[in-house]
Structure 1
Amino acid sequence: MELRHLRYFVAVVEAQSFTKAAEKLFIAQPPLSRQIQNLEQELGAPLFERGSRPLRTTAVGHFFYQQALKLLSNAEEIKLITQRAGMTERTIQLGYSSSLLCGLLPRIVCLFRQQHPNLNIKLLELNGMAQIQALKEGRVDVCFGRVRISDPAVKRVQLREERLMAAVHSSHPFANQRRPISLAELNDEQIFSYPSQAGPGYAVQVKSLFLEYGLEPKRFAVLDCLQQSLGMVAAGEGICIVPESVKMMQFRHVNYLPLADSAAVSPIYLIVRNDDEGQYTRPLFDCVYQVYDLEAIEYDRRVF
């Protein structure tokens, strides 16, 4: 006896007709009748009063119907419990560039957690090529990054662009400027960028921005991380070009100045493996755009 036999029997009892039950079950009537006959043979007792209109159960059939309902209900409950247990064990690994924690990424992840309470979400700080490598090796499922890297193994969507700012010491001549600062004015400054890594990264992106305007910084140093770069600014050692959201990091004696150049922006990408449609990719997109809507941020909604 299988659960499907119980479902067939219950359907016939509740429809009070083999014909109506067959329609409800989307099967032909002869196979349904044979299944019920086999069930009666296995139980050794008739379950229906043949010839009755509408179809009625025998006393044994009525008893079996009550027990069948309990068994089917228990089976469904076990299925749901097992599914919930399975969901608890599911994990999604999110890679992210360090500066994105200063922006909207924490709110996006928090909303995603609320909408998927049984999903285990883990965050891993990765930058540039490290994100691509981690995706290709399966160590992460999705990455939020700032650097456009072409690789046939991954696909990406640009979520939006974020304005860049110059972080300068409060004693710097530019510190109290009421106008945006141009890159040309910063070209001769000691510029700190980050992170120190092989291959293209945010530091390369910043240097390329100067080159785009025909400029080449005379003194350009790449440090290990964002915090170290801002620490050097706080020490009065130079300046740092950072995304606008980084201004939430209130280092003492560090002022943040808007940049005047139209190309002074940093793109934000969502990146996944090219062969992975991921169950949670689209829900993650939805969370991103929900947060953008709440913050009145303009964007061009796109998915892969």
Structure 2
Amino acid sequence: MDLKELTTFQTIVQEGTFSRAAEKLNYAQSTITNQIQRLEKELGIQLFTRGWDAQLTAAGRLFADEVDRLIQHWHEVAGLVRSLEQEEIGTIRIGAIEAVMETVLPNALRRFQQAKPRMAWQIITGNSDTLTESLREDKLDFAVCGEPGDSSQYYFEPLYEERTVLIADRAHPLCGRSEVVFEDIFDYPLIAGGSTCLYALQFNKHLARYKETPTVTHTVSQISSIPHMVKGTSAIGVVLSSTSLIAETAPLPVRMELPPIAVGLLQTRKHSGPPSSSKQLLQRLVREEIEAVKALRQ
């Protein structure tokens, strides 16, 4: 059976005769008759008692009770298929902090491209604050970043945690110690993320508990560059636990009572309902890649 046959049957029931149904559908009456005969043959039942009026049989009345639902379902399925086909061509916009750019996103996007070869993607890298703003301005479909301070407009799904780590050149005076007191770092310049970085804001808040402060604090928006800037200097870098270090640098054994920073999927609440298939797929791949990275670090 096809949609035309179901629609013809529905129209006959509504109009009361084959001739009026043919006129409404702009078909020849023979076409109407042939469609009903094919439908009856496929169903294995007789729907109408033959005559001038379209008199339903008992089986026809049962079928008539369900035909509206069948036609509606047919249209819904066809609409879903069309929307999925249209979605195969398009662009998905993702924001990400540096921590996931080197490990998580490349593998996730590689797998995504295999499943959706005609879908393009756009990546914006930034800190959590700038990515949150881009989401609010509808420049991104979702982001992998930290949780915003004001989450009333957003839906955040935490996936893993980052910790703040201090690093230094391996020749640094503090680097050879088994334990470093936090106040000892005040004698050296600091290099940290920009003022809008969540971890930098948290670290600065921690500094406010001490009367003394570092001699000077430099800021750089690209956290991955901090190890290179620390190399060969007396400066101490403030980075995240996932930051890739270079051979000339090492973490300092400093005790800091800083809470971990949650990182996860962030989207505006207006987009937090059932996601599109492409968006849903990419988010699933991001989750899987994050779990794989966590397993390697354990």
Scaled by the length of structure 2, the TM-score of the pair is: 0.65
> What letter is aligned with 1:157?
E
Contact 1:183 1:210 in 2 (8 A): no
CA distance in 1 between partners of 2:174 and 2:16 (Å): 89
Please state if 1:287 is matched with 2:289.
no
Instruction: Quote how far apart the aligned CAs of 1:137 are.
Output: 1.4
Scaled by the length of structure 1, the TM-score of the pair is: 0.64
Please state if 1:242 is matched with 2:239.
yes
Aligned to 1:266: 261
Aligned to 1:226: 223
Instruction: Quote how far apart the aligned CAs of 1:145 are.
Output: 1.8
* Structure 1 gap ranges (5+): 10-21, 57-77, 299-304
Per-residue deviation, residues 242-285 of structure 1 (Å, max 9, x unmatched)? 112212x42x5222345443526333132111211242565444
Aligned to 2:192: 193
Contact 2:170 2:250 in 1 (8 A): yes
- Secondary structure, counterpart of 1:261 in structure 2: coil
Contact 1:146 1:202 in 2 (8 A): no
Instruction: Provide the aligned length of Structure 1 versus Structure 2.
Output: 253
- Secondary structure, counterpart of 1:187 in structure 2: helix
* Structure 2 gap ranges (5+): 47-77
- Secondary structure, counterpart of 2:287 in structure 1: helix
Greater shift after overlay, 165-174 or 216-225?
216-225
Instruction: Quote how far apart the aligned CAs of 1:44 are.
Output: 3.6
Instruction: Quote how far apart the aligned CAs of 1:95 are.
Output: 1.0
> What letter is aligned with 1:159?
L
Contact 1:142 1:270 in 2 (8 A): yes
> What letter is aligned with 2:251?
Y
Aligned to 1:125: 125
Per-residue deviation, residues 119-168 of structure 1 (Å, max 9, x unmatched)? 32211112243222211211111112236331533232332212332221
CA distance in 1 between partners of 2:112 and 2:179 (Å): 36
Alignment of 1:1-304 (within 5 A): 4-6=3-5, 30=13, 38=22, 42=28, 44=30, 46-47=33-34, 48=37, 86-146=86-146, 148-177=148-177, 179=178, 181=180, 183-195=182-194, 199=196, 201-211=198-208, 216-247=213-244, 249-250=245-246, 252-257=247-252, 259-263=254-258, 265-277=260-272, 278-279=275-276, 282-297=280-295
Q: CA RMSD in A?
A: 4.2
Structure 1 pair 264–176 and aligned structure 2 pair: CA distance change class (3 A): farther
Contact 1:88 1:120 in 2 (8 A): no
Aligned to 1:13: none
CA distance in 2 between partners of 1:103 and 1:40 (Å): 61
- Identity in percent: 14
- Secondary structure, counterpart of 1:132 in structure 2: helix
Structure 1 pair 182–156 and aligned structure 2 pair: CA distance change class (3 A): farther
> What letter is aligned with 2:91?
T
CA distance in 1 between partners of 2:102 and 2:130 (Å): 20
